[in-house]
């Protein structure tokens, strides 16, 4: 992505990658190219006010993300391969390991400007921006993120909870 590339162009490229014969490899390659120059990407894109769905169909969901340093999103899975990239700021993804269906705290993965990461369908993470400033990113999910059954996981017990917008919002930890 160059400084003249916009969100519409990214969505077009992401949709093509998601529909490729090897969607995972094509999407990962697109993310690597897109985030190679995070400063140019940040200069080219508007800052979203939160999580913004740019596109969704049966093959892909494409989101423009803004995470805040005072709100940690609850542990959740995606139910499909997920490709995350940060173009401005820094975020911490706390990793959770499923043991007999219960989420247990694991390690952490910090992503900073220009870094990408791929999560598997059953991977569980929570996320918060670091350094007292928002983080900004683009995410590609290989499927209809808002139309499948997914899980949140209780912060204390690790028990799965059906993903709903109300449950998600009620579980955000404000700092």
Beta bridge partners, 147, equal none
Give me the CATH topology for the region 7-174. Jelly Rolls (2.60.120)
Q: Crossing angle of helices 7-18/23-34, nearest 10°?
A: 160
pLDDT digits (tens, 9 = 90+) for 132-156: 999 999 999 999 999 999 999 999 9
**DSSP string computed for 80-122:** S-EEEEEEESEEEEEEEEEETTEEEEEEEEEEETT-EEEE-TT
Count Cβ atoms below 10 Å from residue 32 Cβ, excluding itself: 13
pLDDT digits (tens, 9 = 90+) for 20-39: 999 999 999 999 999 999 99
pTM of the model: 0.95
Burial profile 66-75: b = 16 or more Cβ within 10 angstroms, e = fewer: bbbbeebbbb
pLDDT digits (tens, 9 = 90+) for 30-86: 999 999 999 999 999 999 999 999 999 999 999 999 999 999 999 999 999 999 999
Instruction: Kindly list the domain boundaries of the chain, sorted by start residue.
Output: 7-174
For residue 2, name the pLDDT band (cuts at 50, 70, 90). very low
> Do strands 90-99 and 61-67 pair parallel, antiparallel, or not at all (unpaired)?
unpaired
């Amino acid at each position: 992505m160059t400084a003249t590339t916009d969100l519409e162009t990214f969505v077009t490229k992401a949709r093509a990658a998601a529909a490729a014969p090897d969607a995972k490899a094509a999407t990962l390659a697109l993310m690597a190219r897109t985030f190679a120059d995070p400063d140019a990407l940040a200069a080219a894109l508007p800052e979203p006010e939160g999580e913004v769905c740019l596109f969704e169909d049966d093959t892909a969901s494409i989101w423009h993300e803004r995470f805040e340093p005072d709100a940690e999103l609850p542990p959740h899975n995606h139910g499909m391969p997920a490709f995350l990239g940060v173009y401005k700021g820094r975020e911490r993804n706390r990793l959770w390991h499923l043991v007999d269906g219960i989420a247990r705290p694991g390690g952490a993965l910090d992503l900073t400007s220009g870094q990408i990461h791929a999560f598997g369908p059953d991977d569980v993470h929570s996320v918060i921006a670091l350094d007292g400033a928002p983080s900004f990113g683009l995410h590609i999910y290989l499927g209809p993120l808002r139309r499948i059954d997914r899980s949140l996981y209780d912060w204390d017990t690790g028990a799965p909870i059906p993903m709903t917008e109300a449950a998600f919002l009620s579980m955000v930890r404000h700092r």
